[in-house]
């Protein structure tokens, strides 16, 4: 077993939990993403703990140290231990007894190796003691150093335990990998039909995270080659994703989220349904699609500055260079206020004719780059308007 040290967060609460769990000789180890990210020098969000103690022992040891515990996943061996107001998920060493591609029946184990063998990727099967000594039962350290994403043991076996691991493979490749294990890619291709049994909500969760990576281009390309991308996002085309990443770097995106514009670039047939997007997320996708068919100022006026700016980046990735002064143009258009209201025309028009007249005037105003005056717009609105749907004269 390879050994190395890592600088874990200097966290009194974490130290208190680890000390409590190991007070009577049980192992208590930081595991997974926290160890991986600490070794990479990446930010650490959640800290998970693995222990040789059984769940009931975890609760007893925590309470003996004055800590509160919550049996958040007791049937699966997980107890949340709370210290200094923060919760730490503590899971007993386990081994899989039976799996159905989504859920596993587990048995508790005293073996760290058993626990490591049921994890997904070698770089996620790294453990660390309270003093920072790294335990590496399955060769994760060398894979992490090479940024090689590899399943623990047999890739097919790990995938058939939970088919969502196919998407997790590409997501972790996007975030942490430079090299994909060829056996893993072959297994993802061969077993991709198993994703049909995974809920769209879970698929959407993984795709959001994947597309949020700094540069998911290679991972998405591998997804397409493996036949996974068209399965989860029918009609998606990621050919120009690299160009979008470059545009993002050239023009800057500030605090705008990455994944919505990257998803919009790929133009899937029905991303809202395929990924179970929220109502707001689906509306953003619809607006980004429509904005790409408009001049940037018109998109800014209709949908706001953020949507217009992102549509410019998408268009640039597709080879349509943004017009000179586009940033200034969309900033001005986003603040523009149409000079007319229905009250200005009620003396002359009513009903559907009033609505058509306002829409006609507003379109002309946008086409004029917002330069038509109120007087010009009133005159335009009072002229007969052709009904766009029928081609017949309006009743103005």
Q: Grade residue 393 by pLDDT with cuts at 50, 70 and 90.
A: very low
The pLDDT tens digits of the residues spanning 174-191 come to 999 999 999 999 999 999
Q: Grade residue 394 by pLDDT with cuts at 50, 70 and 90.
A: very low
Domain 153-232 has CATH 1.10.3090.10: yes
Domain boundaries, given as residue ranges, for the chain: 1-146, 153-232, 234-336, 338-396
3 versus 39: which is more confidently predicted?
39
**pLDDT given for residue 65 in this prediction:** 96
Residues in the chain: 396
Rounded to the nearest integer, the mean pLDDT of the chain is 91
| Burial of 96 from C-beta contacts in 10 A (0-12 / 13-18 / 19+) | middle
Mean pLDDT of 10-33: 96
Does position 300 have pLDDT exceeding 90, yes or no? yes
Name the CATH superfamily housing domain 1-146.
Answer: Beta Polymerase, domain 2 (3.30.460.10)
Q: Grade residue 101 by pLDDT with cuts at 50, 70 and 90.
A: low
The pLDDT tens digits of the residues spanning 354-370 come to 999 999 999 999 999 99
Does position 53 have pLDDT exceeding 90, yes or no? yes
Using CA atoms of 243, 246, 250, 252 in order, give the dihedral in degrees to the nearest 10: 100
Using CA atoms of 32, 35, 38, 40 in order, give the dihedral in degrees to the nearest 10: -70
**pLDDT given for residue 86 in this prediction:** 93
* C-beta separation of 84 from 12 below 8 A: yes
Q: CA Rg, the chain, in Å?
A: 28
CB atoms within 10 A of CB 323: 12
What's the CATH fold of domain 234-336? Answer: Methane Monooxygenase Hydroxylase; Chain G, domain 1 (1.20.58)
Is 0.75 topped by the overall pTM? yes
- CB burial of 233-258 (b: ≥16 within 10 Å; e: otherwise) equals beebebebbebbbbbbeeeeeeeeeb
The pLDDT tens digits of the residues spanning 266-282 come to 999 999 999 999 999 99
**pLDDT given for residue 104 in this prediction:** 60
Which residue is it, tokens 């349904």?
A: 273
């Amino acid at each position: 077993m390879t050994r190395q040290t890592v600088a874990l967060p200097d966290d009194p609460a974490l130290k208190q939990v680890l000390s409590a769990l190991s007070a009577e000789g049980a192992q208590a180890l930081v595991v997974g993403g926290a160890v991986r990210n600490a070794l990479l020098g990446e930010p650490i969000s959640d800290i998970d703990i693995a222990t040789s103690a059984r769940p009931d022992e975890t609760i007893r040891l925590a309470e003996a140290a004055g800590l509160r515990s919550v049996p958040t996943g007791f049937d699966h061996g997980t107890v949340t231990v709370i210290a200094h107001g923060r919760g730490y998920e503590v899971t007993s060493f386990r081994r899989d007894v039976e799996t159905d591609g989504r859920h596993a029946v587990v048995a508790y184990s005293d073996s760290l190796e058993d626990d490591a063998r049921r994890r997904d990727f070698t770089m996620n099967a790294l453990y660390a003691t309270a003093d920072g000594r790294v335990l590496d039962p399955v060769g994760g350290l060398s894979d992490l150093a090479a940024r090689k994403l590899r399943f623990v043991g047999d890739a097919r076996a790990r995938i058939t335990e939970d088919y969502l691991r196919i998407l997790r493979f590409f997501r972790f490749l996007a975030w942490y990998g430079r090299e994909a294990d060829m056996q893993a890619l072959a297994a993802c291709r061969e077993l991709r039909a198993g994703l049909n049994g995974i809920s769209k909500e879970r698929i959407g969760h993984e795709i959001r995270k994947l597309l949020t990576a700094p540069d998911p281009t290679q991972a998405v390309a591998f997804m397409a080659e493996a036949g996974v991308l068209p399965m989860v996002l029918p009609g998606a085309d990621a050919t120009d994703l690299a160009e979008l990443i470059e545009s993002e770097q050239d023009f800057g995106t500030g605090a705008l989220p990455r994944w919505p514009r990257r998803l919009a670039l790929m133009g899937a047939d029905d991303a809202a349904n395929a990924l179970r997007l929220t109502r707001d997320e689906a509306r953003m996708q619809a607006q980004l699609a429509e904005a790409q068919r408009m001049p940037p100022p018109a998109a800014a006026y209709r949908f706001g500055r953020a949507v217009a700016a992102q549509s410019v980046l998408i268009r640039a990735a597709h080879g349509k260079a943004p017009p000179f002064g586009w940033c200034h143009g969309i900033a001005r258009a986003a603040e523009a206020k149409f000079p007319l209201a229905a009250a200005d025309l009620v003396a002359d028009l009513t009903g559907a004719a009033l609505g058509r007249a306002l829409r006609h005037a507003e379109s002309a105003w946008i086409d004029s780059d917002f330069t038509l005056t109120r007087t010009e717009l009133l005159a335009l609105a009072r002229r007969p308007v052709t009904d766009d749907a029928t081609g017949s004269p309006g009743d103005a």
